[in-house]
């Protein structure tokens, strides 16, 4: 019994560390895209899709895993179709996110990921039959109030944040119905879009409209490398997250996911000097309050995990 407990605790600790590291990488991502101000987002998305495939192949090789075979994909055509749908949904979310952080809107990106759990809760109720707890109901109400106050004050919807949050939640919902493991599904998603990305990049090159290739031909190879690097930079945290989710609890994942938008918020205000006015302060405060209530509700799960960790340490260092 002690041996099993030790293994479970060790696995949980490893999962927590991997999850925290993945959210840390996601949170620091604006620092990378800060070197691509006013980037051509269409071309950047195409490069990201095209070079995702060789990167994922490398991940499979390094992990000693076999790549998904054609027979495996044919055996579950429904999951392949859902991977196609998930890839299109992710494109919208990623496009919005990348546009935001390359056009001085890191605060909008932060807001998008802060409100993402609220969209995820709503989708869970609508499509998965989830029941809301009291804290989740309050979080939805407060989040709605925060967005409504911003709309009332600015006279327009925060489209970037809403598109990021909603489409990322839709992506998560879609993944619930895909029977492939996380790494396989990410690879299939990239494979399905790769031909379209390649054709688009060839068209840009042939019509002399490619920003990255033109820069490289002019001697600025760093721009091309940054465009290509968008694939591993965005996929590395996803790989760590895929490994983490198998070894830790969803409650811990839910709590740690706020590392990402919190870092982006700090970068936007402290490093990029984005304007943080009273309207944003009130809206963020309402959303943060709701998320704090959900986090406090998950504390019993954290206490259980701490108890398991103490047991693990006791078995390693018996008195």
Q: What is the pLDDT of residues 98-131, one digit of tens each?
A: 999 998 899 999 998 888 888 888 888 888 887 8
pLDDT(316) > 60? no
Domains identified in the chain, total number: 1
DSSP string, 208-248: T--HHHHHHHTT-HHHHHHHHHHHHHHHHHHHHHHHHTTTS
Q: Closest Cα partner for 168 from 234, 265, 226?
A: 234
Taking the CB of residue 64, how many other CB atoms lie within 10 A of it? 6
Supply the pLDDT for residue 31: 93
Instruction: Report the C-alpha gap between 83 and 175 in whole angstroms.
Output: 8
Contacts 24+ apart (CB under 8 A), 267-274: 267/27, 267/28, 267/30, 267/31, 267/106, 268/30, 268/106, 268/107, 268/109, 268/110, 269/107, 272/30, 272/34, 272/104, 272/106, 274/104, 274/105, 274/106, 274/107
Q: Which pTM does this prediction carry?
A: 0.82
Supply the pLDDT for residue 1: 47
| Averaged confidence pLDDT in the chain | 84
* Structural domain for 183, as ranges: 2-316
Instruction: Report the C-alpha gap between 200 and 209 in whole angstroms.
Output: 11
pLDDT digits (tens, 9 = 90+) for 261-279: 889 999 999 999 998 899 9
Instruction: Provide the pLDDT confidence category of residue 2 given band limits of 50, 70 and 90.
Output: very low
Supply the pLDDT for residue 252: 65
Taking the CB of residue 258, how many other CB atoms lie within 10 A of it? 20
């Amino acid at each position: 019994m002690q041996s099993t407990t030790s293994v479970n605790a060790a696995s949980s600790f490893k999962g927590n560390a991997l999850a925290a590291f993945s959210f840390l990488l996601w949170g620091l991502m604006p620092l990378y895209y800060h070197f691509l101000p006013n980037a051509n987002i269409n071309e950047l998305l195409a490069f990201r899709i095209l070079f995702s495939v060789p990167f994922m192949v490398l991940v499979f090789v390094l992990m000693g895993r076999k790549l998904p075979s054609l027979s495996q994909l044919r055996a579950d055509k429904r999951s392949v179709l859902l991977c196609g749908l998930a890839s299109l949904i992710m494109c919208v979310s990623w496009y919005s996110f990348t546009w935001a952080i390359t056009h001085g809107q890191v605060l909008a990106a932060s807001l998008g990921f802060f409100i993402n759990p609220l969209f995820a809760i709503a989708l869970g109720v609508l499509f998965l039959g989830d029941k809301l707890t009291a804290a989740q109901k309050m979080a939805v109400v407060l989040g709605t109030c925060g967005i409504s106050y911003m709309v009332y004050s600015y006279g327009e919807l925060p489209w970037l944040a809403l598109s990021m949050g909603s489409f990322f939640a839709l992506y998560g919902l879609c993944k619930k119905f895909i029977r492939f493991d996380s790494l396989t599904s990410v690879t299939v998603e990239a494979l399905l879009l790769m031909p379209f990305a390649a054709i688009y990049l060839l068209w840009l090159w042939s019509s002399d409209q490619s920003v990255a290739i033109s820069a490289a031909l002019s001697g600025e190879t760093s721009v091309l490398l940054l465009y290509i690097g968008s694939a591993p930079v965005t996929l590395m945290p996803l790989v760590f997250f895929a490994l983490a989710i198998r070894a830790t609890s969803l409650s811990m994942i839910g709590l740690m996911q706020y590392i990402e938008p919190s870092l982006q918020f700090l970068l936007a205000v402290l490093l990029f000097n984005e304007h943080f006015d009273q309207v944003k302060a009130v809206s963020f405060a309402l959303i943060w309050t709701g998320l704090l209530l959900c986090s406090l509700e998950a504390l019993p799960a954290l206490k259980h995990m701490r108890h398991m960790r103490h047991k693990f340490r006791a078995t390693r260092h018996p008195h």
